[in-house]
Each structure stands twice: as structure tokens, then as C-alpha cells.
Amino acid sequence: MSVIDIKIDVQEIVDISVKAGAAILEIYKQDFEVDFKEDESPLTSADKKANDVICEFLKANYSDIPILSEETKAAEYEERKNWEYFWLVDPLDGTKEFIKKNGEFTVNIALIKNGTPVMGVIYVPVKDKLC
């Protein structure tokens, strides 16, 4: 089955964004540790948990579409440059804001076709708002 034959259920993507947001909020309400990635950007258990929630769902339901996530080791460019479609995921965009506990962070999931976004969901967990 080619990617073109796969029908994307936008409501499922909305639902998994909300589920990832709920996982983030569970950690947000607690004390948590902050680690740092190789590039010195912060990383929390909320980043990891939201990434797991989203990527597990996408792999199970849209396995023909590769995933490029900020929190997962990326495929080499030589492979990625040939992807017609891929999921672009930032499971917790605004980790520094999350750490400050100011509520200004989002869950981002987009479907990219030939370098152009064709579908996207942005969810603000603290406000329970979808964009």
C-alpha cells in the first residue's frame, strides 16, 4: 500500500495530541528533573513521554509514513531526502517554557508531503486549546 492510499483521520491526530498533552500535564504538576541534549537544549521526562505517546500511535496506525521527531534519532539525510511523506513531530515545543511553568508550550504534529505541510495539529495543553 502506498502512502497515497492511506487515509489520515485528522480526529485521531487531534486525539493523540490531546493524549500527549495530558501526559505532559501529569509531569508539569510535579517536580521533575531537567537533562540536556548534546546541543545543550533542555530535555525533560515530559518531552520523552509525549514523544513515546505520539510515536507509538503513529507507528501503529500509519506505519508506512516515517517519523521525524525532535526527541528521536533522525534517519540520515540521504534517506530522509527521498521521503515523499513524513510526520514532523515536536512533542513538547517550548521545553524552556515548560520548565518555567508558564504554560507557554505546545504539542505539534504535522504531515509533510514533498517538503510542504499538508496537515497539522497544534495543541496547548494548559489552555486545552487546539490550533
* Cross-strand partners of 85: 113
Average per-residue pLDDT in the chain?
A: 93
- Residue 88 · residue 17 · CB < 8 Å: no
pTM for this entry? 0.92
Is 111 a domain residue?
A: yes
Does 23 map to a domain?
Answer: yes
Examine residue 32 and state whether it is found in any structural domain, yes or no.
yes
Question: Is residue 2 assigned to a domain?
Answer: no
Report if residue 63 sits inside a domain: yes
Give the pLDDT band of residue 4 (cuts 50, 70, 90). Answer: low
- Domain-embedded: residue 74: yes
Each residue's pLDDT tens digit, 39-89: 899 999 999 999 999 999 999 999 999 999 989 888 888 989 999 999 999
Which residues make Cβ contacts (< 8 Å) with residue 128, sequence separation at least 6?
Answer: 18, 21
Q: Give the phi and the psi of residue 89 in degrees, each rounded to 5.
A: -125, 130
How many domains, in total, are found in the chain?
A: 1
Domain-embedded: residue 79: yes
C-alpha–C-alpha distance, residues 35 and 56, integer Å: 23
Domain span holding position 104: 8-125
130 is a domain residue: no
Helix (H, G, I), strand (E, B) or coil at 91: strand
CATH number of the CATH domain containing 59: 3.30.540.10
